[in-house]
A = this chain, B = another copy of it.
């Protein structure tokens, strides 16, 4: 039976988020653009393809190693545009502030947004500020939206994966979620893990300069690598098989996962992408990625097959196969 109230897992980016979107939003807002369920919507304006995306950020704590809610909100939106191959044209930022929030903290967040926007080469061109009473928010929530232009010749879509394609990840997974987890201080674990939070549009441009035949791109944020691959397998009607041994992961992240029982394939990333592309394009694209600061540790982690359709298999170190379902329930709430 479906719950009749909102649960934390409705916001985790996994199974229940999908159900909520399918049953409430898609049904009510019925339109093909939304139905595509891409990271950005694709609109047409006098002949050019305009990408358009939005995300709210409620990360807790607001400041964490490697970033803060401001940096996160800019990178997340730039990355959603980049996952369609779009060049960012402008961002908006809307703030919900809690009465009593320190102006100094707001200044820090804003400075960090500016820095991230500068890295991405985009301006924050529109904004809004609302204030709610003390206790009606936790410090600060930010919603960023973005508009971008998809260059001619680029056709990257979630349903673009084809049997025979290879799967590339741009670097070690799990850093963001583990950094946020440790920053909460709920566990007496000291860690050196920093969030990977970064704007990926430069990396994507580098990739597209090398090959226009990239079939699909996704950034594995909420729900992690497993959920994103599942989404791609579902949308494209293919099977995806990845190899445990080839997936880059920091020793510290592995360690925390083992200690606390987290599954690294479901950990959120904020500066990583998954690319699916024809095998023959892979060597050149991989080389281009590795020459970019955000893709130095890029690796081929698996391949696309005919079967099992709509499923993701993980070949384990000891030779077994594990089915990677989309995230159900949540690992850790409020990671972005």
Contacts and interface: CB of A to CB of B under 8 A. Distances in A.
A54 interface: yes
Contacts of A24: 103, 106-107, 110
Interface stretch (A120-128, A155-163, A173-181, A202-210): A120-128
Contacts of A100: 5-6
Contacts of A138: 132, 136
Give this chain's copy count.
2
Contact of A54 (B2, B11, B40, B128): B128
Q: Is the interface of A mostly helix, strand, loop or mixed?
A: mixed
A33 B101 contact: no
Contact of A126 (B3, B34, B110): B34
Given A34-B125, A34-B126, A113-B29, A10 B58 contact: no
Q: How large is the interface on A (under 10, 10 to 19, 20 to 34, 35 or more residues)?
A: 35 or more
Contacts of A201: none
Contact of A5 (B4, B6, B103): B103
A6 B131 contact: yes
17 contacts: A4-B102, A5-B103, A6-B97, A6-B101, A10-B129, A29-B113, A31-B124, A31-B125, A40-B126, A41-B125, A46-B46, A50-B89, A53-B126, A56-B95, A58-B136, A94-B145, A96-B141
